Chains A and B, each alone.
Chain A
Amino acid sequence: TVLTQSPGTLSLSPGERATLSCRASQSVSSSYLAWYQQKPGQAPRLLIYGASSRATGIPDRFSGSGSGTDFTLTISRLEPEDFAVYYCHHYDSSPPMVTFGPGTKVDFK
């Protein structure tokens, strides 16, 4: 499964809404679709698992949706700490194989 993310870069201001897209090359189970946030010099952090469930400690301004081949990460109102790169991720269990999308960078307009 190949994951494609769009846009490559999203230039927004604090307080604005961010909508990030992840498209899979074939239909995937939502259970195996996750989103991660990565800031410069840091390891990735799990944001969303099962396409729509927030990980522990993740603010409710982050939400995930989608099914089949099209998935979306939405940040309702951008906070300064949300400017980062976001990756979608698919775990194919048989055989185990993990795919990451190329990432969407959310930066300051």
Chain B
Amino acid sequence: QVQLVESGGGVVQPGRSLRLSCAASGFTFSTYGMHWVRQAPGKGLEWVSVISYDGSNEFYSDSVKGRFTISRDNSKNTLYLQMDSLRAEDTAVYYCAKESSVSVAMDFDYWGQGTLVIVSS
């Protein structure tokens, strides 16, 4: 069955960096676009970034553009999110999510359980 397992969260000081990972299994990882979505404590869902199936295209929300970098290693079935220049407002649970279709991206059919990032001095 499809599994997405995030890791790498923790407590980090403002201005520092953190790298999140999402290990995928149960599907052909290299054929699907993948996303990061975050949720601040007690708040709604906020889309962060997307990467195409082959890693050739990536897009970001305005709130993280220039600070976060999404990447993937299809040989390891793993998605990454490099987060630099972290701010207090980046504090959230970060979810990785799989697009439901290989051909047309429309929605997310599987999500990981999330990893918590706390940015605090």
Contacts of A98 in B (CB 8 A): 35, 37, 47, 50
- The range of chain B's interface size is 20 to 34
Contacts of A46 in B (CB 8 A): 100, 107-109
Contacts of A44 in B (CB 8 A): 37, 45, 95, 108, 111
Nearest-Cβ distance from residue B33 to partner chain A, whole angstroms: 8
Nearest-Cβ distance from residue B70 to partner chain A, whole angstroms: 11
Contacts of B44 in A (CB 8 A): 87, 100-103
Contacts of A100 in B (CB 8 A): 37, 44-47
Contacts of A31 in B (CB 8 A): 104, 106
Nearest-Cβ distance from residue A41 to partner chain B, whole angstroms: 9
Residue in B37, B57, B104, B111 whose CB lies within 8 Å of A45: B111
3 closest A-B pairs by beta carbon, nearest first, are A98-B47, A34-B107, A43-B111
Nearest-Cβ distance from residue A102 to partner chain B, whole angstroms: 5
Residue in A38, A55, A96 whose CB lies within 8 Å of B59: A96
A32 lies within 8 A of chain B by Cβ: yes
A96–B112 Cα gap in the complex (Å)? 21
A69 lies within 8 A of chain B by Cβ: no
B105 lies within 8 A of chain A by Cβ: yes
A14 lies within 8 A of chain B by Cβ: no
CB atoms of B47 and A97 under 8 A apart: yes
Task: Output the residue of A42, A55, A96, A97 with the most chain B CB within 10 A.
Answer: A96
A95 lies within 8 A of chain B by Cβ: yes
Tell me the nearest residue of chain A to B45, going by C-beta: A100
Nearest-Cβ distance from residue B109 to partner chain A, whole angstroms: 5
Question: Chain B 26-60 against A: per-residue CB contact (8 Å), 1 yes, 0 no?
Answer: 00000001010100000011110010000001010
Contacts of B50 in A (CB 8 A): 96, 98
